[in-house]
Structure 1
Amino acid sequence: MHNLKLIIGFFLMHWVISAQDNLDFKKLVGKVDSSDFFLSPDYYTWCSSVVKGEDGKYYMFYSRWSHGNRTETDDPMNYIFNGFSGWCKYSEIACAVADRVDGPYKYVATVLKSKGTNDWDKFTFHNPQIRKFNNTYYLYYISNSYDSSLFENDDKKTKEWKQWLKYNCTQKIGVVKANHISDFINGKYTKPKVPLMQPDNVKTFEVTTNPTVIQGHDGRYYMMFKSRKPNVGNMTFWMAVSDAPDGKFTIVSDVFTNEDMACEDPCMWYDKKRKRYYAAVKYYSNSKKLVPQFGALALITSEDGVNWQGAKNPLISLRELKTQEGNIELAHLERPFVYTDDKGQPIALFAAASIKEPSKGGEHPTSEYNSFVVCFKLKSDKK
């Protein structure tokens, strides 16, 4: 009987440990100041992702595209998109470096940009996420081409929108890899000719975007991404699994098909202490079912990396910045990236932000209309 109690006690203890969901991320997020911002006077700045290099420095890969209007000379191909909406055609992935994870970061090189060739990734390079697996660096991203057959009705009222969709609806996920972080800067990376993930028109349709990839508890590689599902108003997260970081990913589940739980921009990690998966996301619903504000940053979780739900403490941050002078309300706070230690404990939170709506900022946005990356220094998680 005594041995039986010990066995039962062991399994109960193991279950409690494996089922821990006590991460309260919002308590880790402190105040910020101007030293925590990364921006450019000439470019919209978005989509950051950070990794530590072999040299001990921190490398931020991020999206950028130039301010202002374009001319036929700048862009003789097809259709021109000005201002903030230009991400869908002109975004490029750049790299900045810092001595500390929270910066300050300094631009060093543009890593991926359009070369005008007729490949699947002919135009924009966006949504970068940099990871290091088994001493190799993998840079995940999205890109698109152009499908002239889509939305052929060119009535004047919707012409620009339909032209935009001809690019937007060709988005796919790719990956490039390198043995050293400097190889990305020097252009010595390996770039496959085909995308890593694209709509299969069986489960997923229209686009595949927002990739986040980690190595899971079982040694396999887990990808969460966003795509369209038939008869569902919002985009849906999908989970896919592979035996290799750049291998064939097989879809194993869909996540949050209910519009009340609609999310985008996931950044996933595995918490070895709590023995569960977490993902920081942007909440894309007005229902307040997950967190109390549209566009707020939220926390979702899973024990197995396949079945997901809102975390016990789901709010990471409202759409605001807390400063010494008070709180600043934001038009955008999205594309979260959580930098963790080797145990999966959060060290820093990065996000794309703007104080005022950048699409309304005119040809030369002021600082309030400009977009920037903010780094939230996180307090120690003692649980």
Structure 2
Amino acid sequence: MNQLKSIVCILCFIASLLLASAEAPKLEESWLSKSLSSEGNLILQDQDGYRVWGCSAVYDDEGKVHVYFAIIPDKGHWLRNGEIGHAVADKPEGPYKVQGSILQGRGPGYWDASSIHNPSIYRVVGKYVLLYIGNDISKAETWRDRAQEAGSQRVGMAIADNPYGPWKRFDRPIIDVSNNPDDWDEYCVVNPAFVKHPNGQYWIYYRAWDRNHDDRRKTGVAFADSLEGPYLKYEGNPVIDKFEGVNGQTEDPTLFYWNGKFHCVIRDMGNWDWLSSLYLSSEDGLNWSYPKRAKHQGATYYPMRDDKRCERDQILLKDGKPDYLFNAVQRPEGNCGGVVKINLSE
């Protein structure tokens, strides 16, 4: 009997090795990856006193480019005391003039008391709409309890008539965790992306960490009939999860509607690799295509090491068309933002 068990264990081990070594399905190039310029520009590098991460851009009525980015104070952490900065340029490639920090944690008593992170900016019905993640770590007993701190993250919204502010914030998250302790999104909700649906609705996509079932990062969506909500979660969530033939995860979706379709760029977390992004399309914003390549690793476009991360993809639209791709860029000499031109074929 013991010999039989040993044989079974050996066969299972061999099978697991064969499964792990199986090649993932070939990843096709998307129209986006084919449209990206081969040389991008680095912007908004780390400064004395703070580090930067990610950048999301929008044009104002005069054609100036406003970029909103995450600020992490030196010796700080994005979960503990992150802020949102604002910079302005005459063109997407820069140079940018930093305007300073515009949003911070609001202090005791607020859901976003401690840290503000991962901004994404949009022009919606004449307003500037800034989505972000915030948290309250006051209940965390020690800094070592990062999981507890991460679990307080929620999605927030700030609205302004002018890209310089002032910004109207809300007393409650625009997207909150589920009240059902067994749901896939009851732990945290983060990294929002906004789309104005052609049917007139307002849609917010968000990423959650399903610690109750398979410990995977997944993407869901919520709908509202007015910009300020309430946003009701889609009953069929999550809408982006596993892909056939691979077993990785995804995060950081960015969405836009163009040419009669919904388009999604999302970070690959181990499906094909960890350093590139995936592209998905959809007719209805709920049922998504099999992935294609959205962009290659960052060293394809920027002067950086090929083992460093280039993520937090954000699309700058001009007259409703994708114009530039913005990224967070990780380099040994310091983090910065990145921007690559999207060359659409007519």
TM-score normalised by structure 2 residue count:
0.83
Match of 2:267 among 274, 282, 291: 282
Matching residue of 1:110:
101
Is the 8 Å Cα contact of residues 30 and 322 (structure 1) preserved in structure 2? no
- Aligned alpha-carbon RMSD (Å): 2.3
* Distance in 1 (alpha carbons) for counterparts of 2:324 and 2:250: 21
* Structure 1 segments of 4+ aligned residues over 4 angstroms from their partners: none
User: Are 1:265 and 2:247 counterparts?
Assistant: no
The match for 1:51 among 41, 46, 58 is: 58
SS of 1:309's partner is coil
- SS of the aligned residue for 2:169 comes to coil
Contact 1:147 1:166 in 2 (8 A): no
Instruction: Return the letter of the residue paired with 2:338.
Output: V
Contact 1:123 1:143 in 2 (8 A): yes
Distance in 2, Cα, partners of 1:327 & 1:140: 29
Q: Is the 8 A contact 1:281 1:336 kept in 2?
A: yes
Q: What percentage of residue pairs aligned between the two structures are identical?
A: 21
Of 255, 272, 276, the residue aligned with 1:296 is 276
Deviation of 1:261 (Å): 5.0
Query: Does the 8 Å CA contact 1:37/1:373 hold for their aligned counterparts?
Result: yes
Q: Give the distance between the partners of 1:246 and 1:301, measured in 2 at CA.
A: 26
Distance 2:109 2:250 in 1: 32
1:161 matched residue in structure 2: 144
1:208 paired with 2:189, answer yes
* CA shift for structure 1 position 45: 1.2
Find the aligned partners of 2:79 and 2:304 in 1 and give their Cα distance: 31
In structure 1, how many angstroms separate the alpha carbons of the residues matched to 2:118 and 2:72? Answer: 13
Unaligned segments of structure 1, at least 5 residues:
1-20, 70-81, 153-158, 357-366
CA shift, 1:23, in A, is 5.0
Alignment partner of 1:131 is 2:122: yes
In structure 1, the residue corresponding to 2:247 is in which secondary structure? helix
Scaled by the length of structure 1, the TM-score of the pair is: 0.75
Matches within 5 A, 1:201-350: 201-202=179-180, 203=183, 204-229=185-210, 230-252=212-234, 253-258=237-242, 260=247, 262-271=249-258, 273=259, 275-285=260-270, 287-288=271-272, 293-311=273-291, 314-322=292-300, 328-343=305-320, 345-350=321-326
Q: 1:298 Cα shift? A: 1.2
Q: Tell me what 1:98 maps to.
A: 89
CA gap 1:22/1:40 in 2 versus in 1, 3 angstroms: closer
Q: CA deviation at 1:160?
A: 4.4
Which shows bigger deviation, 211-220 or 99-108? 99-108
- Does structure 1 retain, via aligned residues, the 8 Å contact 2:30–2:279? no
2: CA distance, partners of 1:323 / 1:169: 34
What is the CA-CA distance between 1:330 and the residue it aligns to? 4.0
- The 1-side partners of 2:127 and 2:221 are apart by 23
1:206-240: CA deviations, max 9, x gaps?
A: 10101001101211111110113331221110011
Per-residue deviation, 1:54: 2.7
What is the distance in 2 between the residues matched to 1:197 and 1:231?
21
Q: SS state of the match for residue 36, structure 1?
A: strand
In the superposition, relative to structure 1, how do residues 243 and 277 fare at CA in structure 2: closer, same or farther (>3 Å)?
same
Q: Distance in 2 between the 1:63 and 1:53 partners?
A: 20
> Structure 1 residues 201, 309: closer, same or farther in 2, change over 3 A?
farther
Distance in 1 (CA, whole Å) between partners of 2:282 and 2:155 is 23
**Cα distance in structure 1, aligned partners of 2:298 and 2:170:** 39
Q: Is the 8 A contact 1:256 1:262 kept in 2?
A: no
Q: Which amino acid aligns with 1:256?
A: I
1:177 matched to which residue of 2?
Answer: 159
What's the secondary structure of 1:161's corresponding residue? coil
Q: Deviations over 1:348-382 (max 9, x none)?
A: 000101134xxxxxxxxxx2xx1111001222333
The 1:214/1:266 distance shift into structure 2, 3 A limit, reads same
Give me the whole-angstrom Cα distance separating, in 2, the residues matched to 1:295 and 1:225.
Answer: 21
How far does residue 31 in structure 1 lie from its aligned partner after superposition? 2.7
Q: Deviations over 1:314-338 (max 9, x none)?
A: 11222232369x8841411110001
Give the unaligned 5+ runs of structure 2: 1-27
| Alignment partners' CA distance in 1, 2:170 and 2:339 | 32
Distance in 2 of aligned mates of 1:317 and 1:23: 9
Sort the Cα spacing of 1:147 and 1:108 in 2 relative to 1 into closer, same or farther, 3 A: closer
The SS at the match of 1:166 is helix
